[in-house]
Structure 1
Amino acid sequence: MPPSTVPARAPVLPPVPALGVLTVFGLGWFVLNFVHPLSLPVVGWAPMVLAAVVGVLACARVARSAELTAPARTFWRSITTATAAILVAVLSNAYDMVSGFGGAEWKPGAHTMAFYVAGVLVTLWALLRLPAGDRSRGAWLTLGLDAGIVVLAAGLFAWSYAVNGSSALAEATGSYLPVLGTALMGFIGVLAAVKLALTGVGPLDRGSLTAMGLGLLAGATAGAFLSPLQAGRPDLSSSFVAVPLTFLFVGIAAERQLRTEGDAVRVPRRRRRPFSLLPYGAIAATGALLLVSVRKADGEIRVIAAGVLVITALVVVRQILAFYDNAHLLSRLDSSMLELGRLERWSRSLVQNSSDIIAVTALEGHILFISPSVERILGTPAETWIGGPVTRCTHPDDLPTLNELSRRLRQEPRATATCQVRMRRADGTWRWLEIAGANRLDDPSIRGIVSNVRDVTETKRFQDQLEYQATHDTLTRLANRDLFARRAESALAEAGGAGVALALIDLDDFKAINDRLGHAVGDALLTAVAERLRACVRPGDMVARLGGDEFAVLLRGVCAAKAEETAEQIILTLGTPVPADGHDLLVQASIGLVEGGPDIDANELLRRADLAMYAAKEQGKSRYVRYVEEMDARAVEHARLGAELRRALAAGQLFLLYQPVVALPDGELSSLEALVRWHHPERGMVSPAQFIPVAERNGMIVEIGTWVLREACRQMADWRRRYGAAAPYRMAVNVSARQLREPEFAQAVADVLEETGLAPEDLLLEITETAVFDGGLALETVRAVRELGVGVALDDFGTGHSSLGLLRTCPVDALKVDKLFVDGVTGTVENSAIATSLAQIARALRLQAVAEGVETEAQAKRLYQLGYRLAQGFHFAPPLPAGDIGRRLAERAARGDGSDLFEPPALAS
């Protein structure tokens, strides 16, 4: 560590305690010699020399400190020089005293006083060189007046001292040079006080300069007051006290400077008073001098002097109060200016750093001001916009919008308006900007239209995405139901709906594809169908996915013939295999076609198309049907019938009939098929052909099917208990495709068997080929039922998909050949070929073959010849109530021979 470096919070330096000891010793030696003269001058002068040496070293150490500023270092170098000169003067003075000791008087030589004066002058020069800072002319005038007051008061004291006390010092020393030295030291002390109180300390520590001024004043005061005591006493000198005391304060000043410069943390200065006390202190001291001076004058002079002092004191108090009032006002003004400046800087910073563009436009339309953020948003510097038109870089399609904004803003003062326009960036891309303008032409500080411009490109893109997602189907990217309804409503509103047509498309058996091949294949199929539908329409038409496998095509500006041509094109396009996730699938669709008209809204259009689409499904699917008014009546009838059917199930209006299945050739009862019937209290008997489709459409088929299953099993279990071996072999119950798709159907069958006590092998469930053709959940349900031990029969075999592969995948026990093939068995060989083939297939697969709809003896005989051993139909017995079946079973049980009362056909002959 360099010797000039002083650490922060340095400990107390050794010079200060040493100087304190020397000062106390000097004062004690002076008092001791004054009371009892001692002939040891060396003892009195040695502490002075030591004090001077210690003081010089302390100042030199400060002058070498690396932490001082350049002006402070210069000041302390000058003080070091001054103390060195005084050290030389002290040494010379000591030599003069010691060498001349014993004479009647002593006086310093001219060279001694020269060094004293040189030290004082160097100190004066160092103080005068301290920077006072920049001041206004008024401040310099005030400083000059305050300094003049202090200097004048000091001069009065010096004059008084010269008149009253200098003769004693001159008489004691034999020279007026000590008088001059004492006056100079006092003047320098006063100058230090003026510098400290009026002009500030510049780069110095305030406490350091205060200590130095106090040292000079203390030394001068000690010399002035102690010098008369040394008259006629060559062994005494006021310097014994004055010199160590002066250097003690110099050492304190040096220590304070070092401690302050080495401290990393500065204590904030207290708020200064609005005036300096020094001039008023000088006035008070002068007043005291005046009172002392007139103490021996007559009464009138003393009264006048006292009055002048009182008036002066009142004026001083009044001025001090005025200073505080002015300081308070200035403080408020400064706070207001600071706040105003802060707000101005804040506003400027907001404008300069805002992410939005702030612009001011003149009434004529050219730009007066624009913030730098325009370069970040549009890529062009702000200065290139000044003076240019506000329409610069605006998209041509958005110019009317911007002009309308300007027109609205010019209508009245303080008017506000907002719009969104596109503007071109420097790189050629377009950005969406939201402009919020306000008319500030009436504001003298603005005189223009202020606009806040925000880049909303990403926000608008995000909003467009959200709107697209809200109005389009996620899978197919087609319009969804909401958007379709709005577009249809708009199209119907034009020209009263003339030229508008709607094709409602529903894919046939799409659920089977989902169940058999999975939803991924189903989604791929829907996407492919959407693309094909797009290819079938014109640019102005609209394709939408309404949900699931239901699509809609809105045709505009078409006639009836063109609408039908489009529907045919759709069926033809969908008829070719559709690739979907590695599968080539054949898609069939049922289409409901309807035309718009007066007083028809979008909901009504969809309702009519829906009726036509269901009519297409009822007519065999893969076709289109045009809406006619009669469909409304049929729909109303179906709705009414559905409501009544629900009440009928609760009211017990449904009942079962049982049609026997007989064994050929003797006609013995083999099993029964349970058939549901409805006796309406007003309509009478309602045909199953009427209410079963209604039940399938509204979902009641599941409830009705469950009721039929439970009732049939209960009845069969009852017959088993009552008639034993005379009871039928099995009870057959029809199950709809909708029931097979219920996940809990197999469990429901198990629950019914347990509830009724019927053995699983006594139950036969009849299903259709269509229900299980595509596999999936329906086929899994059939397998679960077979695992229960329940038999399964394919009903109406040959009329559905007729896939022979189904006989290998679907676990069945029997085939029921439809009446369509039974009717032709008595005709040509070609007509009976299918019935013959079905019998042979059943025999090869070890399945029972049951011929349905046998109405004549010839049919029964021919079926037996073809290999059929089970048959049912009106030739044997119609569907009968449970009571009739029960009576015949009772008679059969009573005979005990197993014969029946059903008249068997003569097949044996």
Structure 2
Amino acid sequence: MGTHVNSPYLPQDRTTPVEHGQRLALFHTVLNRALKRPLPSVLGVLVAIAAGWFALGAVFPSMSPLPAWALTVLSAALTALACVRVARAASLPAPVRSFWQALGWAAGVLAVGAAGDAHGALSAHGTLGASGAPSQQPGPVALVMYLGAVLIALWALLRLPVGRRSRTEWLALGLDAGIIMLSAGLFAWYFVIHGSPELAALTGSSLPGLAIITLAFGAVLAAVKLALTSAGLLDRHALSLLGLGVLGGATGGALMPLLHSTPHLYSTQVTVPLASFLLALAAERQRQAAELPAPPPRRRPFNLLPYGAITATGALLLVSAWEPNGETLVIAAGTLVLTVLVAVRQVMAFRDNAALLARLDASMLELRRHEQRFRSLVQNSSDMIAITGGDMTLVYVSPSSERVLGVPAEEGVGRPVTGRVHPDDLPVADALAAELMAAPGATAACQVRMLHADGTWRWLEVIATNRMDDPSVRGIVSNTRDITETRRYQERLTHQASHDALTGLANRTLFAERTAQALADGGDAVALALIDLDDFKSVNDRLGHAVGDALLTATAERLRACVRPGDTVARLGGDEFALLLTGISADEADGLAGRVVAALGTPVDAAGHHLLVRASVGLVGGRGGAPADGPVADASELLRRADLAMYAAKEQGKSRYARYTEAMDTCAVEHARLGAELRRALAAGELFLLYQPVVALPDGELRGVEALVRWRHPERGMVSPAQFIPVAERNGMIVEIGAWVLREACRQMADWRRRYGAAPLSRMAVNVSARQLREPEFAQAVADVLEETGLAPEDLLLEITETAVFDGGLALETVRAVRELGVGVALDDFGTGHSSLGLLRTCPVDALKVDKLFVDGVTGTAEQSAIAASLAQIARALRLRIVAEGVETSAQARRLYQLGYRLAQGFHFARPLPAERIDGMLAARAGHGPEALEPPALAS
């Protein structure tokens, strides 16, 4: 019930969706092609209708011929329209447009002739034959029009120009044309003898026979023109369609005798639409070809038309000799077979030849492509390609020479290849030529400068190969490219790799190379000066790196002005410079070092800031120096000695120069060993603190202590701070030692506070180095120590030097951060720094410690004690506490009290004491022990 049954009696659509889609696609394709070519499509439909009507007429003689004649006239008219349309295409050459214009006229005349023929056939008073039946003979007007159309077309075809041919090609063309014309003549002769009387008897006139012969010869001439001469201006496919159309039209008259039994049928009703359709296709093909790029020319390997004519003539021979049991028939048949076999064999040979020619054409085309590609590469290459003869003159120069040297290629040919080479590079070019001429196939390269047309010299890289052994070259082939920008870039990179980017001076690498070379050339007359700017880091910290860079640039200019021509000025890094002096005596080197110190000691304008630069110079070498300062063979050793001398100059007070001595090596070795031992001592607990009391004047009561670090060496015993503190500052250990001193002092002060209260001691003073103040985390480290030990910030006093904060920057910011914690700050050794009074306005301090230098003079003349007195007045005016350091006599203590000093310290009161002694004093003062500080009397 619910089953679907396929019944053969029910209509069923077995088309799948895919097949249905394919049919639709095919229909759309056909429709699109028809819409793109409307006239040929319409004519194709007319041909089909005409053929169908002709077939129906043969079956049903009573059918009216009017529709068939209408189709015939319409086909010719549409063909004329198609030809005129092509003749108006502006992209076609003028001869081609004239040709299609003439074909349009011929098609129009054909339409008129067909209309006249149709009128004669349909007229009630048309011509009747002897038998009284309708006649197939066209009227005079129609016949003239038909002949006129053929003649116009033939005239247009013969006017087409043909390509140039050789004498041999013209001879072959004449022979082929003679064969075809002779064959056509034989057919015409046979038709005149055998067919023309019968046609005249049927039609009642000899004009049809004459017309057929004329049309046949016209068709033959057209075929000769189209097939043999092959008009090159026409599209070859259009040419083939055109030939088919002419032959199809010409055969219409020849078919008329076959229709003598059906006088109501006319062959013109089929042949004219067919010929019109082919002509319209040819016109459309020509129009489409005009819109496309021209195809490459094709070689015509052979033509079958002459062989077809020979074969047709053999067939005519066989027809004319058709006699039963005749010997002539056998001979004619054998001749025809032999002719066909020879023709087939010849065609096969032609095909083989055509294949060979096709391969040859393909090879030639590929060769031309390679040649064009090579020519394009040579002509459009950025490199200049040249061929030089054995006499070193240019035989060929590529057009790119104008891009490389600005000189046209034709100007270089015939000139010597070295004509534009820089004089200094001629030896290089001659060496290249000699290397190349040594043997065929040799390849060499060089870089030379050549003169450009604009007068500049360009660096060129030449890569050349000897091709004298190649018969097609017979010269030296060179490829030259402009490397001027590459050389400039390489030189710039080389300069950047060997010079300082900021100052333009030689860098450490180049300086070491030149030093080594100078020592190798003459080490006894080589001197080296190492220059380090004093306190340069403070400039960067206070004023910024832009000002620091400007200062370094100005310093470099001053150093250039101090040296002699040939000496080397280098920046080794940071604020460190070096001078390499060659051919100089020791005395001259000393004088130059003095000039450097003086030149750098004058104020410098750096980025709008007026700065005073000081430098320490270490000097080594020079002819005639001390034996210990004699020549060395190693550049690094020379630089090491200068470095030792430079540090010696810094230790002597900076802003001076020092010459290297052997003692500096001994001192350096000692410092190195002491630095290593100092690091071990910190870890081993060999460092300890002593505390120097700070007393009140005049009674000498204990008010505070200053923590002083000491070193008890297991072998050397007590090591003076004057020995190990500079070493620690140089190797950076001062930061670790300072942190330990701060923690230990705070721990001790906190312990005294817990045990004895706040009355005995007011503050613990701890010295802080400049290196510690430049540590970004120093203020936080102080806060951490106070929290760890429980010491109040006001119980701690940090003593700093004027030099540490004179230039401001990070050190001054650190001092301000410490003051914000509540920790006191004192300026140690006040009065011996850069500018003490100006510093008191910028640095947040609450105590001054007057240096021993001024304390020593207070008991002398009024002039000698004036500074100490002035400092006390300044401290009172600024509400600062002031402490006198280095008090050694009671007279100094008495005078200081008279000048207004209320705090002092020195050997007169007490030497630095261990924590146990201070602990005893505090206990005695608190009533817990017998020991106490006995204050010396200030006056007797």
Which piece of structure 1 moves more, 779-788 or 297-306? 297-306
Partner of 1:3: none
Match of 2:202 among 172, 184, 206: 172
* CA spacing shift, 1:15–1:616, aligned 2, 3 Å: closer
Q: CA deviation at 1:27?
A: 5.7
Contact residue 120 and residue 126 of structure 2 kept, 8 A: no
Aligned partner of 2:690 among 636, 657, 661: 657
CA–CA distance in 1 between the matches of 2:858 and 2:746? 34
CA contact (8 A) 2:693 2:912 kept: yes
Query: In the alignment, is residue 904 of structure 1 matched against residue 935 of structure 2?
Result: yes
Counterpart of 2:773 in structure 1 is 740
SS in 1 for 2:702: strand
- Tell me the amino acid that sits aligned with residue 937 of structure 2: A
1:418 aligns with 2:445: yes
Do structure 1's residue 874 and structure 2's residue 901 form an aligned pair? no
CA 179–637 in structure 1, closer or farther in 2 if over 3 Å, else same: same
Against the structure 1 CA distance between its residues 29 and 544, is the aligned structure 2 distance closer, same or farther, given a 3 Å change threshold? closer
SS in 1 for 2:415: coil
CA offset digits 1:807-855 (Å, max 9, x no partner): 2221112111222222333344443333333233223322222222223
- Match among 443, 465, 470 for residue 497 of structure 2: 470
> Structure 1 pair 102/277, CA: closer, same or farther in 2 (3 Å)?
closer
1:169 is matched by which residue type in structure 2?
Answer: L
Structure 1 residue 363 corresponds to structure 2 residue 390: yes
Instruction: Flag structure 2 segments of 5+ consecutive residues without an equivalent.
Output: 1-33, 90-95, 623-629
Supply the distance in 2 between the matched residues of 1:715 and 1:313 (Cα, whole angstroms).
136
SS of 2:466's equivalent?
strand
Amino acid at match of 2:477: V
Report the CA distance shift for 1:278/1:346 in structure 2 as closer, same or farther (over 3 A). Answer: same
Query: Structure 1 residues 880 and 212, CA, compared in 2 at 3 Å: closer, same or farther?
Result: same
* Residue identity opposite 1:179 in structure 2: G
Equivalent residue number for residue 576 of structure 2: 550
Partner of 2:873: 840
Asked whether the equivalents of residues 478 and 543 of structure 1 are also in contact (C-alpha less than 8 Å), the reply is yes
- The answer as to 2:463 corresponding to 1:430 is no
Deviates more, 1:567-576 or 1:356-365: 356-365
Q: C-alpha offsets along residues 452-498 of structure 1, whole Å, 9 cap, x if unaligned?
A: 22222222223222322332223322222222222222222112x12
Kept after mapping to 2: 8 A contact 1:665/1:905: no
The answer to whether the 8 A contact 1:792-1:814 is kept is yes
Contact 2:40–2:281 (CA under 8 A) maintained in structure 1? no
Partner secondary structure for residue 824 of structure 1: coil
| Cα distance, 1:224 vs structure 2 | 3.0
- State the SS of the aligned residue for 2:38: coil
Partner of 2:355: 328
Say what the alpha-carbon RMSD is for the aligned residues: 3.6
Q: Which moved more, 1:261-270 or 1:468-477?
A: 261-270
Find the aligned partners of 2:798 and 2:658 in 1 and give their Cα distance: 35
Give the 3 Å change call, closer, same or farther, for CA 94–166 of structure 1 in structure 2.
Answer: farther
Aligned partners of 2:700 and 2:620: how far apart in 1? 54
- Indicate which of 411, 414, 418 corresponds to 1:387: 414
Equivalent in 254, 263, 274 of residue 249 of structure 1: 274
Give the Cα separation in 2 of the matches to 1:268 and 1:367: 40
Structure 2 Cα separation of the partners of residues 678 and 840 of structure 1: 38
Corresponding position: 1:595 with 2:595: no
The secondary structure found in structure 2 opposite 1:655 is strand
The amino acid across from 1:585 in the alignment is L
Structure 1: gaps of 5 or more residues: 1-5, 231-235
* 2:369 aligned to which of 329, 342, 349: 342
Matches within 5 A, 1:442-591: 442-495=469-522, 497-591=523-617
Residue deviations 1:591-638, cap 9 Å, x none?
111116544222222111110000000011111111112211211221
Match of 2:97 in 1: 69
Q: Partner letter of residue 932 of structure 2?
A: L
Whole-angstrom CA distance in 2 between matches of 1:838 and 1:50: 138
Inter-CA distance 303–876: structure 2 relative to 1 (3 Å threshold): farther
Secondary structure of the corresponding residue to residue 640 of structure 1: helix
The more displaced of 436-445 and 20-29 is 20-29
Letter in 2 for 1:840: Q
Aligned to 2:10: none
CA 435–117 in structure 1, closer or farther in 2 if over 3 Å, else same = closer
Of stretches 350-359 and 736-745 in structure 1, the one that deviates more from structure 2 is: 350-359
Instruction: Give distance in 1, aligned partners of 2:928 and 2:893.
Output: 26
1:172 & 1:11 partners in 2: Cα distance? 38
> CA contact under 8 A between 1:185 and 1:219: conserved in structure 2?
no
Distance 1:527 1:290 in 2: 114
Q: Distance in 1 between matches of 2:690 and 2:138?
A: 158
Letter in 1 for 2:876: R
Question: What is the rounded CA distance, in whole Å, between the counterparts of 1:455 and 1:818 in structure 2?
Answer: 73
1:189–1:162 distance in 2 versus 1, CA, 3 Å: same
Contact 2:394–2:415, Cα closer than 8 Å, also in 1: yes
Structure 2 partner of 1:646? 679
The aligned counterpart of 1:233 is none
Specify whether residues 169 and 884 from structure 1 end up closer, same or farther in structure 2 by C-alpha distance, changes over 3 A only: same
Give deviations 1:569-592, integer Å, cap 9, x for gaps.
112222332223333322221111
| SS of residue matched to 1:894 | coil
Instruction: Flag the 1:289–1:364 CA change in 2: closer, same or farther, 3 A.
Output: closer
CA contact (8 A) 1:69 1:203 kept: no
Q: CA deviation at 1:53?
A: 4.5
Aligned partners of 1:241 and 1:77: how far apart in 2? 24
For 1:543-591, what per-residue CA distance to the aligned partner results, in whole angstroms no more than 9, with x for missing partners? 2222222221221111111111111111222233222333332222111
CA distances 1:769-797 after superposition (whole Å, capped 9, x unpaired): 11111222211111111110001111111
What per-residue deviation string (whole Å, max 9, x for no partner) do you get for residues 329-387 of structure 1?
A: 22222222222222222322333333222222233332222233333443333333332
* Equivalent in the alignment of 2:212: 182
The letter for the 1-side match of 2:606 is A
> Which range moves more in the overlay, 248-257 or 81-90?
81-90
Compared CA separation, residues 731 and 530, structure 1 to 2 (3 A):
same
Change (3 A) 1:207 1:429: closer
Match of 1:408 in 2: 435
Bigger shift: 331-340 or 779-788? Answer: 331-340
Could you give the per-residue CA deviations for residues 525-547 of structure 1, whole angstroms, max 9, x where no partner exists?
22222222222121122222222
How much does 1:291 deviate? Answer: 6.7
Deviation at 1:142, TM superposition (A): 4.7
- The farther-off stretch of 507-516 and 556-565 is 507-516
Q: Counterpart in 1 of 2:669?
A: 636
Alignment check: 8 A CA contact 1:105 1:173 kept: no
The letter for the 2-side match of 1:859 is Q
Helix, strand or coil at the partner of 2:765: strand
Q: Structure 2 CA distance, aligned partners of 1:848 and 1:470?
A: 57
Aligned 8 A contact 1:218 1:242 in 2: no
2:695 matched to 1:670?
Answer: no
Q: How many angstroms apart in 2 are the aligned matches of 1:57 and 1:880?
A: 138
CA contact (8 A) 2:920 2:931 kept: no
Work out whether residues 105 and 174 of structure 1, in 8 Å CA contact, stay in contact via their aligned partners in 2.
Answer: no
Instruction: Tell me if the contact between 2:73 and 2:114 (Cα under 8 Å) persists in the aligned partners.
Output: no
CA contact (8 A) 1:492 1:600 kept: yes
TM-score by length of 1: 0.88
1:83 Cα deviation from its structure 2 partner: 5.7
**1:768-779 to 2 correspondence within 5 Å?**
768-779=801-812
**Cα deviation 1:136-178 (Å, max 9, x = unaligned):** 4444455555555555555666566666655543332234443
The 3 A distance-change label for structure 1 pair 120 and 352 is closer
- The one-letter amino acid of 2:77's match is L
Percentage of identical aligned residues = 62
TM-score, structure 2 normalization: 0.85
